[in-house]
Structure formats: structure tokens, C-alpha cells
Amino acid sequence: MTKFSDLSLNPKVLKAIAEAGYESPTPIQAGAIPPALDGKDVLGIAQTGTGKTASFVLPMITLLARGRARARMPRSLVLCPTRELAAQVAENFDTYSKHLKLTKALLIGGVSFKEQDTLIDKGVDVLIATPGRLLDHFERGKLILSDVKVMVVDEADRMLDMGFIPDIERIFGLTPFTRQTLFFSATMAPEIERITNTFLSAPERVEVARQATTGENIQQGVVMFKDSRRDREATEKRKVLRGLIDAEGDKCTNAIVFCNRKVDVDIVAKSLKKYGYDAAPIHGDLDQSQRTKTLDGFREGTLRFLVASDVAARGLDVPSVSHVFNFDVPSHAEDYVHRIGRTGRAGRDGKAIMICVPRDEKNLSDIERLVQREIPRIENPVAAKSTKADDPKPETAEKGDEKPKRSRSRSRKSDDVAKEQPADVQEAPAVSQESKSEDTKRGNRGRSSSRGRSSGGDRGGNKVVGLGDHTPEFIGLSFKERSAAG
């Protein structure tokens, strides 16, 4: 087996690796480090958890150990899709370059430009950045990229999902043609293939096996769930999630709960919290200090459930997650591979459980085709107990049941969307304020529209002129009284 000492890394880097407790390189490291040290371009097809960060950080540090940076002209550049991933790469740099005098700057949103400018002005060896922030600095004239000798693109497929490919192409164009490129992606979508064909020069291709096809240590399962009534799907699904968590008991030491949409990340986190589970959300719309606090808590074990969107969780290195719960079936099959790869890391056992509603069955088939196995169906832990929408604490149960009924009797027409939301609001009041006010708006719109019509004001069909919140007295009078009066 290859040892780190067999690779031509700088002795000071080897020392730092030994101090970090690593002896043998992982397959992506063993495959990527030698060509990278030879100055070749590398195309690494690997996902997080495989040790891919060190596979580019270690050779970069070795190459940068010679020479010095000039003001505003970084010598190397690492592009990451998210702030968290960039921060993680920066941590790796600190760990492995601790015996060398290298400087770095982290250019991510949520950090003041001033602080970052000061570092760049002094000259940095390594610039670790998200694409948008890097271009912001460039456009402000604070950065010169013509001295970049090594450029890394990390998690290119995620960059593609996030719409960063035009930025990446632009950044490639700003760096010298002679630069060395180390390019990493978990999958090779056609667009990624195109970019690598355009910007990499005779790259050494290093591919490591997908975790999902080899990860026998991850026990998988899916609950096929059908709501009892359409407007109860969301609440019932959250109940199923709680049932699944409860069924795991103490075996579930910590977990990431994945949702497809940011709005659900918030609602599910609030809901779990409300039911006494230690949960917090993470997604791109939360401010940086909150994201950092949540992640630190999860890493340190003070937070048990991290509710996340794919983008926010991608690339996060949380070594020991006992469970992954897929609240939704991901719509891209590859995301399933990424999600479940958060558990069962470094050979540990892990469990990944998913909830599948009927409309997601096609996505489930796509996933099963990709991972080349059938995901075992598991019983819905709450199916046998109750068919009620939710069975929360008594004080909310009463209100929760009351509201949808009222809205149903008031609105004879189908206004399902407006009815659906209040159930959510009941379960997770704080987050749902927004949706509630949205609904209220929607409800008002519906009402004024019908009033407008009855008063003959909707002839054009473009703009419905209603009576606003004011209800004139005559509307309250009954026809009987009027005719009696007349």
C-alpha cells in the first residue's frame, strides 16, 4: 500500500500529515497527487468523504513552498461552490501548511471586503473563494489574476447546479493560459465534460468509485407514504419523519434531514423543534454567522439534527453522522448519492432512510437505476397508529383541527392552496408567518375578486376592483328585511 512518504511531498507537509494522524493516502489522493506534483492538469471524479480536499491541497502546498506572492497577485486559486466548503478548504490549508510560511485569503460572502482587501494587498499564496465574491473583488480592481499558477475547481457539478458555470468560464479566462488546473467533480454531466475539454490540457483522469454503489456499510430504506387527505400531506409527512426518528431511538446519535426546498428546510426544522427534537436549519438564505453557529454546534455534538438543503450540505465534512433522513426524494438521482454519503463515512456504519410520496416514485426509480439496487421498502412507523393528520400536543391539536375546517366551510370553491398552508402554520407557527400572510393575501384576493364580480366590476377580466377591507352596511342586510321594508 502506498504511504504518504512514498509521494514526493514537501517534508514539512509530510510532517503535518503525520501530525494530523494520516499514514496512507486515500485512492483519490494516491491517484491525483503524483500527476499534480508533476505539473499536470488533473480531472478528479470523486465526491466528498473520499479525501479529495487533501488530494489538491497537499500538492498545491508543496508546489507553493517555493517562491513568494506579490501584492494583489495570488499564486493559486481554489474555487468552491459554497462558503462552507471554502471555509473547509481553508481549514485544510491551515492544517497541512502549518510548518510552512504560506499566506491565504478566504473570499466569501458575509465577510467584509475591507478585511479581505487588506490581505490581498499584502499578497497571498492561496486565494480560496466562491466565484461570485471573487469576481466582485476583481471588478473592484483589487485583484490581479495573471500570476495564478495553479487553479482548483472544487465540486464542479455543484457549481453547475448553482448556475456558476459562466462565472467559472470567465475566471478561467482571467488566469494565464499556462496555469495548471486541478478540477474536481462528483459526476460528469455533459456541461462539465464540455468545460473540462475546453479548459484542461491533457488531464490525468482519476476516478474513485461512487460511495452509493460500494457503500455496503450504509443501510438504506424507503417508506412509501400516501397522505390520508391531500391538504394534510405536509403535516403527515413530518409525523412520519418523527416516527422514523423515534423508531431509531438511541441508535440515532445525530442526523442530517434533507429537504428539497429551502422553505421546507425551515418548516421541518421548526416543526421538529416544536416537538422537542434538537434541530436547526441550514440553507443559503440564512446569514453567515447563523450558518457557522449551527454547523459548529452540529460538528461538536451539541446539535442533534441538522435540517439542510442539498446546496448547503454539499461538501460539509461532518465525520460521524449516524443517520441521514431524506424528507423528500431528491429530484436529481446524484443528489441521493451525495446525501447518503454524509453517513457511513470512513468505514463506519450508517443508515439512510427516505420518505417517498406517490408523485416522487419516478425519481425513486431513477435513483435505484443509478445506484443499481432496489432500496428496501420499510414500514411506515405511524401508519398503524393513527390516520389523523397530526397528533401534536393537545393545545395545538385543537386549533390545528379547527382552522382547516373553517376555511373549508367558508370557501365552497376549491381553494386548496389557501387551505393547505394553515395546517403548516399550526404546526410550525413562527416560520409559517410568511406563508400565512401570503395565504391571507391570497384569500383576500379571492374574496375581493368574487365581490368584484357580484358587483359587476370584473368585466374586463384584467383587474378585479373589490371593496377592500371595508364592507358597506347594505351587504349585511338580508333580502327578506329589504323586501319587507319595501
Least distance in angstroms from the C-beta of 345 to ligand AMP = 7
In the block, residue with C-alpha cell 465525520: 319
- Rounded alpha-carbon distances, angstroms, from residue 201 to 46, 52, 177, 442: 19, 20, 10, 55
Q: DSSP assignment, residue 305?
A: E
Segment lying near ligand AMP (by CB under 6 A), choices 44-52, 69-77, 335-343, 350-358: 44-52
Task: Return the bridge partners of 279, or none.
Answer: 305
Which 230-259 residues touch ligand AMP, going by CB under 6 A?
Answer: none
Among 54, 182, 234, 355, binds ligand AMP (CB under 6 A): 54
The contact mask relative to ligand AMP for 318-357 (x = CB under 6 A, - = no) is: -x--------------------------------------
| Separation between Cα atoms, residue 448 and residue 466, nearest integer Å | 5
Among 2, 15, 22, 457, binds ligand AMP (CB under 6 A): 22
Q: What does the block give as the cell for 257? A: 434531514
Contacts with ligand AMP: how many residues (CB under 6 A)? 13
Least distance in angstroms from the C-beta of 24 to ligand AMP = 6
Distance, C-alpha 416 to centroid of its chain = 29
Among 117, 227, 317, 458, binds ligand AMP (CB under 6 A): 317
Segment lying near ligand AMP (by CB under 6 A), choices 19-27, 114-122, 302-310, 465-473: 19-27
Least distance in angstroms from the C-beta of 433 to ligand AMP = 37
Identity of the residue, 176 or 319, whose beta carbon is nearer to ligand AMP in the bound complex = 319
Identity of the residue, 349 or 398, whose beta carbon is nearer to ligand AMP in the bound complex = 349
For residue 67, state whether it binds ligand AMP (rule: CB under 6 A).
no
Identity of the residue, 80 or 279, whose beta carbon is nearer to ligand AMP in the bound complex = 80
Among 10, 29, 185, 235, binds ligand AMP (CB under 6 A): 29
Q: Is the dihedral of CA 26, 29, 32, 34 positive or negative?
A: negative
Question: Rg of the Cα trace of the chain?
Answer: 27
Kindly tell me the burial class for residue 114, based on how many C-beta atoms sit within 10 Å of its own C-beta (0-12, 13-18, 19 or more): exposed
Please say whether the beta carbons of 68 and 123 come within 8 A.
yes
Least distance in angstroms from the C-beta of 214 to ligand AMP = 15
Identity of the residue, 55 or 196, whose beta carbon is nearer to ligand AMP in the bound complex = 55
The contact mask relative to ligand AMP for 262-301 (x = CB under 6 A, - = no) is: ----------------------------------------
Kindly tell me the burial class for residue 115, based on how many C-beta atoms sit within 10 Å of its own C-beta (0-12, 13-18, 19 or more): exposed
| Separation between Cα atoms, residue 36 and residue 436, nearest integer Å | 54
Least distance in angstroms from the C-beta of 326 to ligand AMP = 20
Identity of the residue, 25 or 381, whose beta carbon is nearer to ligand AMP in the bound complex = 25
For residue 5, state whether it binds ligand AMP (rule: CB under 6 A).
no
End-to-end CA distance of the chain: 102
For residue 215, state whether it binds ligand AMP (rule: CB under 6 A).
no
Identity of the residue, 208 or 267, whose beta carbon is nearer to ligand AMP in the bound complex = 208
Identity of the residue, 52 or 83, whose beta carbon is nearer to ligand AMP in the bound complex = 52
Among 34, 44, 50, 60, binds ligand AMP (CB under 6 A): 50
Identity of the residue, 58 or 143, whose beta carbon is nearer to ligand AMP in the bound complex = 58
| Separation between Cα atoms, residue 378 and residue 221, nearest integer Å | 6
Provide the residue count of the chain.
486
Least distance in angstroms from the C-beta of 142 to ligand AMP = 30
Closest by alpha carbon to 231, among 420, 436, 432?
420
Q: Which ranges in 143-287 belong to alpha helices (H)?
A: 156-161, 165-174, 190-199, 211-214, 233-248, 262-274
Distance, C-alpha 21 to centroid of its chain = 30
For residue 120, state whether it binds ligand AMP (rule: CB under 6 A).
no
Closest by alpha carbon to 425, among 270, 306, 276?
270
* Residues whose CB is less than 8 angstroms from the CB of residue 347 and which lie 6 or more positions away in sequence, other chains included: 217
Q: Which residues bind ligand AMP (CB under 6 A)?
A: 22, 25-26, 29, 48-54, 317, 319
